[in-house]
Each structure stands twice: as structure tokens, then as C-alpha cells.
Structure 1
């Protein structure tokens, strides 16, 4: 029989601690390996399904429709991450076009969770801009046909007169009547300007009720869609292209917008395009455009300030708002 003593007790305790530590390390290593394998599988399956690229693409489509003169920065990187809880985090820089150049103004952050109701698409601007320039007044009451007034900034033309000619700027305005996009482009054809976005009338207040602001005899809708350059993507969403908003591609731009609407309505849930992308009344707007065609009542344009000033003589143009300005960068 072995005698028990302090030295033997110490050796046993040391051996036990070593064995326990080794087992803990093995368990932790196994857990880390399993976690690594799990994340590898999650990322591989996510890439194979193209889900992150799809969410990024449709977030840009929503950006095109809902936010005038806001573009993803084509030179910026698309950052992607999948969390252990399968939340897909996507971010990319956004820019505003002033003249011929893009100014980075912020970042879009997308968090696509398993439940669309908890998914978010947010815009974070580095320096908050004055969004009041993107206000458009309806030319007439959709239900009664009665002509409406428009507010605008009366000092816009005076400001443009005082700005140095070696400057470019953006300008938003409404029109005196509903117009086809081609008619508005024809109206602006004599001017050396670029059309960036046009507010669309898609049946608001007539086919469906939505929010609006009313001051005196004017109506400004709080939620509108706009016509921008059509955005396309391949089946795997790896390649993207965007058309110019001009006469050459106008028919194609309309077809692309309707096709994207149809794709969302057919392939995605209502909570995806409404709660996640923020595209309200998508079905009603799509039906209205299909039945009645594309009708606009304003535009956002950019160009030399003295060219913008010439728009003052156009009777069709009203309620102007002057946006951001920059040093000359025009051709």
C-alpha cells in the first residue's frame, strides 16, 4: 500500500489540472473549428445563392426610384458580411451628381435578417443635406382635375443671377401640367443640361390614398416614385449596368422599370419590398403605369448655373428649388 503524503498529493493535483486544461483546450478548439466550418458553409451557400448581391441590387433599385439624384458610388466597394445569426450586412457609398462629377455624400447600410419585418435599409449621410429641394407640386387635383398652385423658392432665379458663371448646380422644379417624359425632354432639349430624375404620377390620391402636404391651393405628395436611368443586372447579379435618362433610352428605361416591378411582385413577398425596401403601394403603382403609361410632373436637372437660369423663360416650369453647387466641371 502506497503511503499518502503532501508530495504525492501535489503531483496528482498538477496532473489533474494539466489533464483538465488540455480537455478544455480541446473542447474550445473543437468549438472554434465547428464555428469556422459553420461560417464557411454559410458564406459558401450565401455566395452560391447570390442572395447578398440580390439584396444589394434591389436596394439600389429602390434608391433610384425613391431618392432623386442619389447614386451608388461606382468607384466604391460593396462591403458584405454574414453574421452567425444569418443576418446579411451590406454597405456601399452613395453620391450626388453635380455637373458632370459625383460627390460622395454618405453610405447605404443594409441589414437583411431572416424576417423581412426586422430587416432595414438606411441612408447615412456624412453631412446632412437640405432635402427640401426635392419637393414637387402636383399640377392638378387627381380627383377633380382642378388646377393647383405651387410654392417653390421665389429667390431661386435671383440667386442664379448672382452666382459666378464658372459654377455648376442642381435644380429641382415642377411643371404646369402632367407630361410624358419625352415631352419634358423635348422641352429641355435647347438647354445644355442633364436630366437626372423625374417624379412620376402613379395614381396617388385617385387609385390609392397616400400622405401629402397641402398649403393653400397646392399639393405635395410625401411618398413618390421617380423615373431614373434603368438599372439592369445579370441572372447572378454579378454584373450591373445603368442606362442614361435621355431620349435614346427612354423606351428601354420604362420597360426596365416595369420589369423590375413585376419581378418584385412575382418573386418576393410583400414584406420584402414594402417593409425592407420601403416600396409602398408597389402593386397599385405598377398597375397604374401599365394601364395609363408614364406621366411626369417635374424633374431634377444639373448643369452650368447660367444655363439653369435660362429655364426662367419657360412657362411650363414652376416652383424651382436650387440644390448643391460646385466649381466648373462641365464639358
Structure 2
């Protein structure tokens, strides 16, 4: 009969410790392999569904509608990943147009999970002075004429700037006008129209958020017409028009209505309103279809001495000077 001793106990303990270690290692290897397979399936599905491209595209559209002269570049770099908990992380650079060139001014960062999503526009890093507000020319409900907050320093500054400079200028207009009328108004000047605030039924169809009252109604979160952006059904081939012009106006408007319609018909309200932050999208879409594109201002860019000429246009008021850059215009 074998006698029990410390040496034998030690050997048995070592044997079982080794077996236990190997068992744990095998379990860990199995879990690791399962994790690798799981992540491969998740990544392949994520890539095949092009969800990152969809979210990047529509966040760009929402950003450009609600942030004057801020845009995500066309078909540009989009950094995206999906975590094991199915949270999508997407980021891309943001630009604004000054003269004929784009300048990077910030970054968009999106986190979208299956259950909880942060609004893209809540995760934009751009300087505060990149925002403009626009004044309505009259109260849409009563027809009463409204004032605009004037800044006389704008014209003085433009007059003192060297002619070898290009700049960005935002202004409101004394009356509501069609997009065609705005283009005709600015046609004599060597400038580009980048963005125009749209009247989409505020105060008559819905009550907007973020506005100043009294003798002036200043829309702090305007909704505007841009050059236009479109993408194919697979979110792979993207196209963009960067300016609002007579040549492309019909296409600009068609792109905007198509994007609005696609969001309303293909995506749930929690996506375009809860995620993208596009409040009253249905009301705005219906109003634009029924009444056309009515504007009450613009953001333009061009040589500073050309912008200075707008001082003599009686239909322009509430001007705000934006960023300036060295000359990059066409001779």
C-alpha cells in the first residue's frame, strides 16, 4: 500500500494545477476564437450594409442645412469603426469655403449605438464665431415689418482691408424673395453664394426654437439651402455642388427635396429627428414643396472690395463679416 507523503501530495497538486491551467487556457482560446469570429461577422456585416457611409452622409446633409457655410468634404476621409457592443464610431473633418478654397475648421464625431445615440450636431468641434443668425424681414403671421441687428463696423472693416484679401459675409434681406430673385440681386457682383436661410413655415406652420423676439425676430438655428449633395442607393458614389448659382439652382433644390424625402420615407422619425436633430422635417418638406424656396438672406464669399459693394444694395441688411483669407480668387 502506497503511503501518503508530502512529496506525493505535491506531485498530485502540480498535476491538477497543470490540468486546471490547461483547461482555463483552452477555454480562453475558445472564447478568443469565438470573439474573433463574432467580430469578423460584425465587421463584414457593418461593411456590407455601409452604415458608416449612410450616417456620415446624412450627418453631413443635416450639418450643412443647419450650419451656414460649414460642410463635410465630398467623398473625403471618414474614420469609422464598430465596437463589440455594436456602437458605431465615425469621424470626419469639417470645412468652410473662403474665396475659392476650403479651410478646415473642425471635426464631426459620431457615436451611434443600437439603443442610445448621440446627435451628430452635438459632437461638432467648430469655433463659436463660425455661427450666423438671420433676421426675418416681417412677421409671417401678422405681416408686421421687423428690424435687423445692424453692425456698421462691417463696411468700415471691409473698406480698410487690403484688396488682396477674400472674405465671408452673411446678411439678411429686407424682404422675403425666391432663390432666383436672390441670385438676380447678386448677379452684378463677383461673389459666390454659399448658403441661404429658407423660410419653411416658421410661426405659421410650427413654432421654431431659438429665436429672438420684440421688433426683431432673429433665427438662431436657421434652416438653409446649400449647393446640394447626393449619393447613390449603396452610399458609395457621392456628388456635391458647392455653390448656389443660376446654372445649378434647379438641381440644388431637387437635391435638397430628394434628401428630405428619403429621410422621411426610408428612415424612422427617431433617426432624422432624434439622431440627426432635424426638427419639423415633415412640415418643412411639405412647405417647400407647396410654396417653393423662399429665402431671406445669404452667406457669400469673394474679394473684400467686391463684398464692400454690397453696402449700396438697399435690399441687404443685418450684415455680419465672417473669416478672411489671403487672395485665392480667380483673376
Structure 1 partner of 2:109: 109
Pairing of 1:241-320 with structure 2 (within 5 A): 241-243=239-241, 244-320=243-319
Structure 1 partner of 2:166: 168
Which TM-score applies when normalising by structure 2?
0.95
Find the partner of 1:240 among 238, 242, 245.
238
Residues 75 and 238 in structure 2, CA contact (< 8 A), matched pair in contact too: no
**CA positional deviation for 1:307:** 0.8
Structure 1 partner of 2:155: 157
**CA positional deviation for 1:44:** 1.1
| Residues 215/265 of structure 1: CA separation in 2 closer, same or farther (3 Å cut) | closer
Find the partner of 1:222 among 211, 220, 223.
220
CA distance in 2, matches of 1:215, 1:265: 31
- Is it true that 1:72 corresponds to 2:72 in the alignment? yes
Pairing of 1:56-95 with structure 2 (within 5 A): 56-74=56-74, 76-95=76-95
**CA positional deviation for 1:112:** 1.6
CA distance in 2, matches of 1:142, 1:216: 14
SS of the equivalent of 1:92 reads: strand
Which runs of 5 or more structure 2 residues have no equivalent in the other structure? none
- Is it true that 1:141 corresponds to 2:124 in the alignment? no
**CA positional deviation for 1:166:** 1.1
The CA RMSD measured in Å over matched residues stands at 1.5
Structure 1 partner of 2:209: 211
CA distance in 2, matches of 1:160, 1:138: 25
CA distance in 2, matches of 1:74, 1:282: 24
**CA positional deviation for 1:214:** 3.1
CA distance in 2, matches of 1:276, 1:182: 33
**CA positional deviation for 1:216:** 4.5
CA distance in 1, matches of 2:167, 2:270: 38
SS of the equivalent of 1:151 reads: coil
CA distance in 1, matches of 2:292, 2:124: 34
**CA positional deviation for 1:76:** 4.7
Pairing of 1:35-46 with structure 2 (within 5 A): 35-46=35-46
SS of the equivalent of 2:217 reads: strand
Deviations 1:48-101 (Å, cap 9, x if unpaired)? 222221111111110121111111134852011111121111110101111111
CA distance in 2, matches of 1:203, 1:254: 17
Count matched residues: 328
Structure 1 partner of 2:180: 182
Residues 212 and 219 in structure 1, CA contact (< 8 A), matched pair in contact too: no
CA distance in 2, matches of 1:249, 1:185: 11
Structure 1 partner of 2:8: 8
Residues 138 and 297 in structure 1, CA contact (< 8 A), matched pair in contact too: yes
Residues 226 and 252 in structure 2, CA contact (< 8 A), matched pair in contact too: yes
Which runs of 5 or more structure 1 residues have no equivalent in the other structure? none
Which TM-score applies when normalising by structure 1?
0.95
CA distance in 1, matches of 2:210, 2:123: 22
